[in-house]
Structure 1
Amino acid sequence: MTIPANLRYTASHEWIRKEPDNTLTVGITDHAQNALGDIVFLELPEAGRVVKAGEEVAVVESVKAASDIYAPVAGEIIAANSDAIDTPESVNTDAYSAWLFKIKPANLDDIDALLDAAGYKAAVDAE
């Protein structure tokens, strides 16, 4: 299981990368894609949608199950990854490059409340 140290994480298995323009790129973790198995469909949010932290914003479907994806922080969705929609299996290939959506956070400091790599590893180990 890969857990890059430069990202933040949620207990619901989303990874978050802060970009230079202070937007956040969000995807699912390597652990999540492995647990789901072969991903066959992604339903991603539309740009312009305003979301609350913890709100369901996307769905990942695999041959095993469907799983909701949650907004890690409150803000506005500014992009969805159309390449990932067209090739959902790319999430299985490299979960950390196959991002799902980008969000402009309402409060950038909210990212500080998310898990770091060590915290995420501890959460996964406790499952």
Structure 2
Amino acid sequence: MLVPKNLYYTENHLWLRKIGLYDFCVGITDFAQKEIGEIHLVEFNLQKKNLKKGIPFGTVYGINKTFQLVAPCDSKIMEVNQNIAVKPSHINTDPYNCWFLILSTHISANELLTYEDYIQQIET
């Protein structure tokens, strides 16, 4: 299982890649995509431009299970990756380059899981 050291993680198996002072790309981890199985559909529930921490913003449908995408923090949606809808199974082959959203937030890195924290979580 691949877990890059340079990313941040959430307890809900999302990864966050810092791409600016306050911006992050968000996707699901390799662990999550393996649990879900072959991904057939990704649906976003984005009526507003803002996400609230802990509130689901979408669903990933796979062969093994359905996976809720839960907002990692209060944030503003800057961009939605429309390419995910064309071939969602690309997430299975390259989960760390298939991002869902770009978010802008003032979250502190201390509020996210580090590589070590995430490894410990998935091993228990």
Coarse TM-score class (shorter-chain normalised) = over 0.9
Unaligned runs of 5+ in 1: none
1:80-127 alpha-carbon deviations (Å, 9 max, x no partner): 11111111001001000000111111x232x3211000100000001x
The aligned counterpart of 1:40 is 40
| Alpha-carbon distance, 1:44 to partner | 2.3
Identity of aligned residues (%): 29
Q: How many equivalent residue pairs? A: 124
Task: Tell me the secondary structure at the aligned position of residue 26 of structure 2.
Answer: strand
When structure 1 is superposed on structure 2, of 27-36 and 79-88 the one drifting more is 79-88
**TM-score normalised per structure 2:** 0.93
Aligned counterparts of 1:49 and 1:4: Cα–Cα separation in 2 = 29
**TM-score normalised per structure 1:** 0.91
- Deviating beyond 3 angstroms after TM superposition, the runs of 4 or more aligned structure 1 residues are 45-48
Q: Over aligned residue pairs, what C-alpha RMSD do you find?
A: 1.5
The structure-2 alpha-carbon separation of the partners of 1:104 and 1:48, relative to structure 1 and needing over 3 Å to count, comes to: farther
The aligned counterpart of 2:121 is 123
The aligned counterpart of 1:59 is 59
| Alpha-carbon distance, 1:20 to partner | 2.4
The letter of the residue matching 2:121 is A
Aligned counterparts of 2:66 and 2:110: Cα–Cα separation in 1 = 29
When structure 1 is superposed on structure 2, of 59-68 and 38-47 the one drifting more is 38-47
